[in-house]
Amino acid sequence: MKNLNERLNSRYWSEPQQFNPNISNIRFEQSGLGYSLYRVRVSLFSSLDINHVQDCMHQLNRPLNLYRVFLWVITFGFCTAPLVWAQNQPVIELLPPSQSHIKPAVYHGEQYSAQRQAFAEFIGTLESARHYDVDEMESALAELRGYPLYPYALKHWLLATLPLQNGARVGQFLREYEGQPVVMNVRKRWLQQLMDEGEYSQFEAFYKEGLSAELDCVYLRRTLSADVSLSTLDNKVASLWLVPYSQPKACDPLFRRWRDAGLQTPQRTLKRMIMAVKSNNIKLATWLARSVPSEQKYLTTLWFDAQRSPYKLTRMNRFPNRASEQEAAVFTYAMGKLVWSQVDAVIQAFSVAQQRLKLSDESVASLTADIALSLAVDNHPNAEKWLQRASDLRSDPEVLRWHVATKVRRDDWQGSLDVIQQADPAFGDDVAYQYWQGRSYQQLGAAEQAKQQLISAANQRHYYGFLASAQLKQTPALNQRSPQWDAVAQTKLASMPALQRAYELFSHQRFTEARREWRRVLRSLNKNEKLQAILLAYDWQWFDQAIFGLAQVGYLDDVERRFPIAFSSRINASAQEHQIDPAWAYAIARRESSFMTDAISHAGARGLMQVLPSTAEYITQSRFPYQSLLEPNQNVDVGIKYMRYLLDKVGDNPVLATASYNAGWRRVLDWVPKSEPIPMDIWIETIPYRETRNYVKAVLAYRYIYQLQLGNSSDLFEQIGSMQMAPLSTPLK
């Protein structure tokens, strides 16, 4: 009988050099004579001959007959699946033949469990204690050497004691961890301290560009010599000055030098003033307007009116035609703001402006499209005329979408087909237009053409694909396809310090720092290694990075990982309590945050379900600490309670409730038809707000996927296909 190591290398490894005889564990999968569900634990020692295996089996007190079967399978070649070694996984598994790939051991840093606790205590002391013993903290810091997060412990210690530190220690830290995310805050704070203390030689030695405008300005003031060329001075300073907000006072001497050199031209002053106006920074814009030459002062007034009172610019006598290009730009901007509230006034002004002002072709096309979309949103009688004009001027996806939506809303099914067929051929394969062509043929009685288009759409895992499947009365296929695990790549990843730091930071819930390290890891990997890292993140239950990563590498068929059953115990319990479909709750969380527990929107919505603090207080009828919304369980409870509230407000209509989660229930009820009912798919297609329209489509598709993920049968899209959005018989409150 051959040595077991030799047989493994010769029979089961395509590249024998990948097998490491010093690895103490192997896992393989195979059916094998009816024993596919048995798990046999074997430790393989360095020599790995068959006698050692036999000794191990006796030590494990396994039945001899099972041991003989195991040897029989190995010896006579009944195993056909490959073997894959995996560190820290002392298991040989006889698994069902249906499994097509082998999952190696996943990195979890078990060897660092003691230091992990010590790190948490160290950081906790720094963050909570007013006073601490420096010697004890230095000793605790020293004990963390060898732990992947030692640089972060040192970072926080340096930040806490920076005024007491000497330059040598800080400099050593910055040099040792150069290029790593951990140094950024330390370098910035250290430079600020050196600047405040007037230690400019050290400041210049440690300086890195881009940490802050103040530091950049101080450095340039110190290093730009008096005889530097104007082009160099301009290249260094112009980008700092030409921004729509005020810069720190430390920049003022640098800007004066730049201005005195004649580099702050009137054109640049006007350009920055316009940038400030568009950012609604009126204070800065007013200050800049003082420096605009007198002959251009009227332009500053026009821009202020464009931002605050755009209707004033519908009067053509406001435009003396002295600076035609600038006047055309301010008119286009003002009408673009006004068109959504006073479209008739814009149409009238636009017709005159095309004769009086030198509008560019781009401005004409842009304003025509804005007018067309505004009319279409309001279902204005002239919408189709303007949509056609806009389509003739340029190919615009949103104009095309609303052109088709307007046609189907008005039951002009032949017109819908004509619009799609006359559009840019690039849109021909779009699943949305395949679906609407199918629906149009269906309504026109062309059953075969309808079926062809709907089948094309139904092949895609998409909102429109699910709608098409419902029309065909067939169950959509999710086409789940998991990536293969790559043991070699996984081993490489597990050995990467940056990945170890990312995992440790994630385990400490230091998510911002973890994401910085994770992005740094991904930048260093090839596509396959990135995919392997994403699989690793999913196994860590770092769901948001798995979701974002799969999208980044373009691997969209791993439905299970792209739509994880995350935070299931809390979501399921809360959904049951409030009588909410859990699949809907998962779909909302997936769309709102991709399960990022610390997500905070620009509007202040927080956590998994992106709940506003004001909403939380209203729903719970109590004061709600803002930070509590970043705690997953509390966030889920409040979010699902709010979903129940919305369902009650809109008469248990799932589509209206979904739209309400994004736009608010009062606004959504304003979109309900006032007279004749319309099919639900058409109503969704004509939701006035683009964000809400896309949100509803996404959440409905996600909800369907989650229903299947949870093992439930679903007729969600059959319901949508047969539903009518009817006028409200009784006003909802």
SS3 assignment, position 719: helix
Neighbour-count burial of 138, counting CB atoms closer than 10 A to its CB (0-12 exposed, 13-18 middle, 19+ buried): exposed
DSSP codes joined into one string, 492-552: HHHT-HHHHHHHHHHHTT-HHHHHHHHHHHHHTS-HHHHHHHHHHHHHTT-HHHHHHHHHH
**What's CA 614's distance to the chain center, in Å?**
25
Contacts of residue 271, Cβ cutoff 8 Å, sequence gap at least 6: 242
Identify which of 445, 375, 449, 429 has the alpha carbon closest to the alpha carbon of residue 405.
375
In 10 A of CB 584, how many CB atoms? 24
Beta bridge partners of 392: none
Cα 139 from Cα 132, distance rounded (Å): 12
Q: Quote the tokens at residue 56.
A: 């191990």
If you compute the radius of gyration of the chain from its CA atoms, what whole number of angstroms results?
A: 33
Cα 140 from Cα 125, distance rounded (Å): 11
Please give the C-alpha separations between residue 455 and each of 28, 449, 473, in angstroms, as whole numbers: 41, 10, 11
Which residue in this structure is represented by tokens 């000794």?
55
Contacts of residue 615, Cβ cutoff 8 Å, sequence gap at least 6: 638, 642
592 belongs to the catalytic site: yes
Please give the C-alpha separations between residue 445 and each of 24, 450, 466, in angstroms, as whole numbers: 69, 8, 22
Cα 20 from Cα 227, distance rounded (Å): 65
Specify whether the CB–CB gap between 575 and 647 falls below 8 A.
no
Identify which of 33, 68, 65 has the alpha carbon closest to the alpha carbon of residue 50.
68
In 10 A of CB 225, how many CB atoms? 8
What is the bridge-based pairing of β-strands 92-93 and 39-40? antiparallel
Identify which of 31, 18, 74 has the alpha carbon closest to the alpha carbon of residue 49.
74
Specify whether the CB–CB gap between 437 and 428 falls below 8 A.
no
**What's CA 732's distance to the chain center, in Å?**
35
Identify which of 537, 585, 538, 582 has the alpha carbon closest to the alpha carbon of residue 561.
538
DSSP codes joined into one string, 620-646: HTS---GGGGGSHHHHHHHHHHHHHHH
Contacts of residue 311, Cβ cutoff 8 Å, sequence gap at least 6: 338, 342, 345
Residues in the chain: 733
Cα 32 from Cα 560, distance rounded (Å): 29
Cα 597 from Cα 210, distance rounded (Å): 29
Identify which of 546, 552, 499 has the alpha carbon closest to the alpha carbon of residue 521.
499
Q: Quote the tokens at residue 455.
A: 């089948």
Longest Cα separation, the chain? 102
Contacts of residue 594, Cβ cutoff 8 Å, sequence gap at least 6: 543, 544, 547, 548
Please report, as a single letter, which amino acid is at residue 356: R
Q: What are the two backbone dihedrals, phi and then psi, of residue 265, each rounded to the nearest 5 degrees?
A: -80, 160
Cα 122 from Cα 164, distance rounded (Å): 19
Cα 580 from Cα 589, distance rounded (Å): 14
Q: What are the two backbone dihedrals, phi and then psi, of residue 683, each rounded to the nearest 5 degrees?
A: -60, -45
The catalytic position among 93, 592, 617, 691 is 592
DSSP codes joined into one string, 462-477: SHHHHHHHHHHT-PPP
Cα 14 from Cα 21, distance rounded (Å): 15
**Which sequence positions are flagged as catalytic?**
592
